[in-house]
Amino acid sequence: QRSSLETKVAMDASSVSPSMASVPTSRLLPIRTPRSAPAEWTTTDDSSAATEEPVTPTARLMEAIYIVVTIGLGSPVNLPVFSAGVAAELARYARFRSIQVTDGSKDGNNPRWARTAVNVEDHMIVPTLDPAAVEADPDRAVEDYVASVYTLPMDRSRPLWEFHFLDYPTSEAASTVVFRVHHSLSDGMSLITMLLASARSAADPTRLPAMPDQPARTGAIYAPRHRESASAGALAAFIAWIWPYLVLAWNTMVDVSFFAATTVFLRDPCTPFRRAEGDVTFNPRRRFVHRSLSLDDVKFVKNAMSCTVNDVLVGATSAALSRYYFRKSGGSNTYRTWLRSVLLVNTRPTA
């Protein structure tokens, strides 16, 4: 379960529901969208094997995590058309029409996911922002609302996904859509793929959007290594051949050792990025922030450094975190100051 372009927000466990695992389905459910009622879909299959599944251990680990996706649009959303499209697309995905249930027995602690009727209108939220705040600074007003999304409770009696529509023009978009979904419904890359599959090409509305081909990697780091010539001797050629494998084995042992030590006892020092041991208080000031970068500037640095766009973004993020740390701490000593993170990489082929 690998992901990119993913934002995860830890939620108060009392306001979220346990998660569910993603299970493929090949059966399309009937969709009912009457003119006089909200869009809704139901299932007529009463088979318990088809409508209920146990929640997997991996899904339970996602109990307090949501994915929040912010999308800037070039025009306001046509809400009736959008709702009908969501009903048509999400009806194909079992986890977007399931809720958690228990039977109340001694095994009641083992939850199951059961299919349910979905009223799409219950998942479409159109908030009203403070007019004075919007007039004074629309960008900040929208950002403040997005920052508050993770504090809003979700109804456990409904599938855990929702859309928020902010029809307020900002400096970057004519309107904003915020999509919040429980992390166990999907990982980041699957969610991106699902959103792309729900869209259509601007050039040809009858076709799915096409993903660009992977660019060819250039630069010294990607240049093929030259093997030692036969004149250098058999021993030198053997060393040149086996050396990369020895380095790989050594790095693997070091990484596994650090991973085991981190799991057992090794901890990062307490910094503004990490709470102290035993501190489980909920920080209401936690929020989303973003900064737009010029892709031309990023590519300029990439070409100058003979690296990749991802390298530039990781470097910029590292520099920003360093500046934030020293500004907050007021110190300059970097001894025993480190921050370890997990970088998930999608290894699946482009659909």
Catalytic pick from 164, 182, 183, 226? Answer: 183
Task: Please confirm, yes or no, whether 123 is among the known catalytic residues.
Answer: no
Number of DSSP helices (H) and strands (E) in the chain, helices first: 9, 11
Would you say the C-alpha torsion 7, 287, 311, 270 has a positive or negative sign? negative
Token pair for 180: 């919040």
The C-alpha angle with vertex 6 and arms to 5 and 10, in degrees rounded to 5, equals: 160
Contacts of 312 (CB under 8 A, 6+ apart): 298, 301, 302, 305
Burial label, 16 (beta-carbon count in 10 A; 0-12, 13-18, 19+)? buried
Q: How do strand 118-119 and strand 124-125 relate by DSSP bridges? A: unpaired
> Helix 309-329 vs helix 295-305: angle between axes, to the nearest 10 degrees?
100
C-alpha dihedral over 65, 81, 131, 125, to 10 degrees? Answer: -30
Residues annotated catalytic, as ranges? 183
